Every structure is written in C-alpha cells, then in structure tokens.
C-alpha cells in the first residue's frame, strides 16, 4: 500500500506523533511507500509566514529534515497532478487549494491519503482516506 500524508498529518508525525490516530500510525508505518507532497511544504511555509499555528513547532528546514530522516519520500508536483487538479470537483464548496492539490496528487498516482481533514471523505468516490 502506498500512502500520501496531508499537511497536518505530516506536521503531527514529525512534531507529536501521538496526535495521529493509532490507525493512521499503523498504516503509515506499514506502508510500502509513504509520500509527502512538495505542496505540503509550501503550505507549511505559508502557515509559518502568516503566523497560523497548526502545531508547527519547528522551522521549515527542520521539518524538511525530519520528514526525510523519517523515511518519507518527497513527491514533487508533476504535470499529471496539475492536469488531474482540474478534474477534482468542488464538493460542499471545498475550495482549499492545498487540499485539492493533495487530492489530485493522490488521484493521479493512486495513493491512499492519510488525513484528519473532515473534507477529504467527501471525495471517497475518487480516493481513499484513512484516519
């Protein structure tokens, strides 16, 4: 099984793993491949720049180092992700561009999303979300 962590799951994994559900931890640790999208690092950078506390207790360079040290694979934004983005429907007025890029990436690459976001299950016809 190959998984893609959403931004909040990444933050919790590297800063306070106890905030993940036992199921999410088990799936992440048992995954064949566990990815973190470059998109998540853009989102973290923006949150840090505007002072939005999302449990981020470290600098962006520290988070990147921790993510890579933890064995996650960096998933760059690719053309197929951008092309798939336009096919992700706007459900319940869910306009968060970072969520939608993560959804498009998971859809394009057939990845399971690890996320606590209440909007991701809206897309259960397109991708599987585990929390």
Please name each of the domains of the chain with its CATH number: 2-123 (3.40.50.1010)
pLDDT the model gives residue 56: 82
How would you write the pLDDT of the chain (131 residues) with one tens digit per residue? 999 999 999 999 998 999 999 999 999 999 999 999 999 999 999 999 998 876 787 889 999 999 999 999 999 999 999 999 998 888 877 888 999 999 999 999 999 999 999 999 999 999 999 99
Q: Which helix (H) or strand (E) holds 42?
A: helix 38-50
- Written as one string, the DSSP assignment of 54-114 is SS--S-HHHHHHHHHHTTPEEE---HHHHHHHTTS---TT---HHHHHHHHHHHHHT-EEE
**Amino acid 18: pLDDT:** 94
pTM of the prediction?
0.92
């Amino acid at each position: 099984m190959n998984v893609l962590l959403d931004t909040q799951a990444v933050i919790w994994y590297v800063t306070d793993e106890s905030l993940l559900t036992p199921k999410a931890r088990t799936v992440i640790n048992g995954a064949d491949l566990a990815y973190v999208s470059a998109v998540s690092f853009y989102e973290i950078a923006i949150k840090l720049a505007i002072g939005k506390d999302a449990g981020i207790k470290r600098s962006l360079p520290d988070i990147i180092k921790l993510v890579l040290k933890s064995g996650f694979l960096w998933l760059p934004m690719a053309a197929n992700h951008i092309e798939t983005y336009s096919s992700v429907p706007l459900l319940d007025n869910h306009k968060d561009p970072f969520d939608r890029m993560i959804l498009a990436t998971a859809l394009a690459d057939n990845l399971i999303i690890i996320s606590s976001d209440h909007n991701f299950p809206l897309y259960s016809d397109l991708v599987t979300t585990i929390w």
